[in-house]
Structure 1
C-alpha cells in the first residue's frame, strides 16, 4: 500500500495540481487579508481551516489510493471514522446542549448510513472502496453541515425564547408542544442550503459530480440523472439527520420535572 501511495505522489500530474493549489491559495490569502482589514477577527479560523483542509484531503487521497485494492469491508471502517470526525466538528456548533456528542453521532450515523446502505442496495453506489468512500463521505459531510446548522439554530432559539418557553411550561403546556416552534425552526433553518441547492440545480450551477462525468466523456443525460441522485441522497441524509437531532434534543433539553435545562454558552 505504501508503494502505491508513493507512486501516486510521483505522478507528474501532481505537480500540475500543486500549481493549481498555489493559485487557489492566493485567492484564499486575499480573503484572509480582507478579513484582517475589516477587523472581522476571522483570520486565525480561516487560515487554520484552509491549511487543515488541504492536509486532510491530501492525506485522504493517499489513503484511498492505497486502499483501492483492499476488501470492501474496509469502506465501513473508513466511513465510520468519517462519522466520528463529523460528530466532533458538528458538536462544536451545539456546545452547551445536553448530550450533543451522542445525539450528533447517532443522528449522522442513522441519517447518512441509511441513505448509503439503501442506495448501495439500489445499485446507485457500487459496492467498492473506490465508490463507497467518496460518495459516502459526500453524504456524511453534508449531513454534518445540516446537523451543525440545526444545533446552532436550536441553541439560539432555546436561549432567546427561554422566558417564553418557561412561561408555557409554567402554564401547564406539555413540553412537546412548548418546544415545537424552536425545534421546527431549527429544522427549517438547517435545510435551507440544501433546498436552495435543489431549486438552483442545473439553472444557477452545475455540480462537480455532473461536470466531472461530462468532462470524462459520460453521457450528459446520465450524468444529469446521477447528479440528481447525489443531491437526493444529500437531501435525504440531511433531512433525516436534522429531524432526528431535533427529536432527540427535544427530550434531552428537558429535565425529569419537565423544566428547561440551562443551556451553556459553549
Structure 2
C-alpha cells in the first residue's frame, strides 16, 4: 500500500514556521493545497487494491494520521480579527478583493526590508494565522473525502451481502433441480459454462446454479444430477419420462 502522498500532505500542513522562508500566498498554492489531488488519487488507488474487509481499516488509518497533525484542530475563528481589520468576507478565502491584505499575504518575511520590528512581526503573525486556517481546511477536506469513501464502501458491501442472501428458494428435490436446469440448457434456454473441448463444465454449472437457488444439496451432488448421462442423472430422467414430462426446444416456441 502506497502512502507517499499521505506523508507529504501531512508534512505540508504541519509546519506553519515555513512562512518565515517565503509567504502564505505562495505556500497555499505550492504546498498546503498542492498535494490534495494527488492524495485523493492515492486513496482511490489504495481502496481499489484492498479487499472490502480491509478498506475501513485503511480509511481509519489515514484519518487518524491527519487528525494527529498539529494544526488539525485550529480554531475556526482564528482569522476573525483580520477579516474585520481588512473588511473582507471569509467566503472569498484565500483570494480577497482587499489589495492591502493581498499584499500582506504575498510579502516575504525573509528578504524583505521592514521599517520596524513591529511591522516584521505583524507580517509573520498574520501569515501564520492564515497558514493554520488553510491547513485546517485542507485536513477537513481530505477527512470528508475519506468519510465519503467509507459510506460508499459500506453501501457497496451491504449491497453485495444482500445479493449473497437473495436466492430463489428451491423446495423440490436436488435431483429435480438438476434435471430441469440441465434440460433448459440442452433445449437452448440456458447457456451453460463450457470446457475448452466444448463439453459442459458440470462442476462450474452446479456452482452457478447454487449461486442462484437456495437448495439443500452440495455442489458435488448437484453436478451429478445436472449431467443427465451420469447414473444419478439417468435415474431422474427415467422418473420424469414416466410422467411424460416434456419441455419443447426453444426453437419450437420462438
Q: Fold match, TM over 0.5?
A: no
Give me the TM-score of the superposition, normalised by structure 2: 0.29
| Structure (1 or 2) with the larger CA radius of gyration | 2
Which one scores higher on RCO, CA 8 angstroms, separation ≥ 6? 1
The answer to which structure has the higher helix fraction is 1
Give me the TM-score of the superposition, normalised by structure 1: 0.28
